[in-house]
């Protein structure tokens, strides 16, 4: 599978967010119940997305010891790691790999707070040292 196909889609990202926001493994029913923003996803759709995420290696599962029909899912990658990968893929797809160009496109028309500007300056300073 090409690298970008290994990253989660927007709908799959909602599943990942649900798992990251919980401190333990979840079943597909629990994931459906906890989806953010009162999602309109059906239980069947959630199972399809979970299956895709497992095939991509982004979720792992264990079988419930009391009921072999129940699976407990957990994320295999952290939120920050996947954000970096998705950001890099976005910059590659739309900006020819130019991450500065991608950042500029995002920031060009934004009104930033002093705190956000300070964060950006810290990131730039850190990049200069590398």
Q: What is the CATH classification number for the domain harbouring 17?
A: 1.10.10.10
Q: Are 53 and 15 in contact (CB under 8 A)?
A: yes
Which residues touch 44 (CB under 8 Å, ≥6 apart)? Answer: none
Whether 108 is covered by a domain: the verdict is no
Whether 59 is covered by a domain: the verdict is yes
Whether 58 is covered by a domain: the verdict is yes
Which phi-psi region, left, alpha or beta, contains residue 57 (left: φ > 0; alpha: ψ -120 to 50)? left
pLDDT exceeds 60 at position 1: no
Whether 8 is covered by a domain: the verdict is yes
Q: Which two tokens stand for residue 22?
A: 């919980």
**pLDDT higher at 36 or 48:** 48
Whether 43 is covered by a domain: the verdict is yes
CA distance 88 to 107: 17
Task: For residue 30, give its domain range.
Answer: 3-75
Whether 88 is covered by a domain: the verdict is no
CA distance 92 to 70: 39
Whether 87 is covered by a domain: the verdict is no
* Total structural domains within the chain: 1
What residue has token string 């991509």? 56
Q: Note the pLDDT tens digit of each residue in 56-84.
A: 999 999 999 999 999 999 999 999 999 99
Q: Note the pLDDT tens digit of each residue in 10-21.
A: 999 999 999 999
Whether 92 is covered by a domain: the verdict is no
Q: Are 74 and 59 in contact (CB under 8 A)?
A: yes
């Amino acid at each position: 599978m090409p690298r970008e196909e290994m990253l989660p889609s927007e709908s799959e990202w909602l599943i990942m967010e649900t798992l990251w926001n919980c401190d333990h493994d979840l079943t597909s029913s629990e994931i459906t119940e906890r989806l953010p923003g009162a999602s309109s996803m059906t239980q069947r759709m959630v199972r399809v997305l979970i299956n895709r995420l497992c095939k991509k290696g982004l979720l792992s599962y264990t079988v419930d010891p009391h009921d072999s029909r129940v699976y407990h899912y957990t994320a295999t990658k952290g939120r920050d790691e996947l954000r970096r990968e998705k950001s890099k893929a976005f910059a590659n797809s739309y900006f020819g790999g130019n991450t500065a160009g991608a950042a500029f496109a995002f920031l060009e028309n934004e009104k930033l707070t002093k705190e956000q500007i300070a964060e950006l300056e810290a990131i730039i300073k850190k990049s200069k040292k590398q």
